[in-house]
Amino acid sequence: MPIKLPLTDKLLAQSVFKAFILNAIATATIAIIVVAVDSYAQELYEKNKWTNRRALTRFIGFLISLLIAFGVYMLLWILFGFGGGQLSAVREPPKLMVDYV
């Protein structure tokens, strides 16, 4: 059964207000998840008494943040078509069909 993406087109970023709302949702979601993952990582470091270089820890945190941001933006694209917005030439939702096997 094919699924039409995005799941809803009511929040397409076709106005400045909707673009700000979607960007605020994306930024807040990314920030909360990154803080939660960092807190969990700090608990693991303290619990297991790992010694790690500060630069390596920051690099790992950067990679995890990048993956989280990519995941959140992909989820928002699937749900709301977030990503085309004000810069897209065509003011229509993306027409993508996904078939489940």
- CA–CA gap between residue 29 and residue 65 (Å, rounded): 11
What's the pLDDT band for 92 if we cut at 50, 70, 90?
low
What is the pLDDT at residue 98?
A: 63
| Chain mean pLDDT for the chain | 77
Across 74-93, average pLDDT: 68
pLDDT digits (tens, 9 = 90+) for 36-66: 988 888 887 778 777 766 777 788 888 999 9
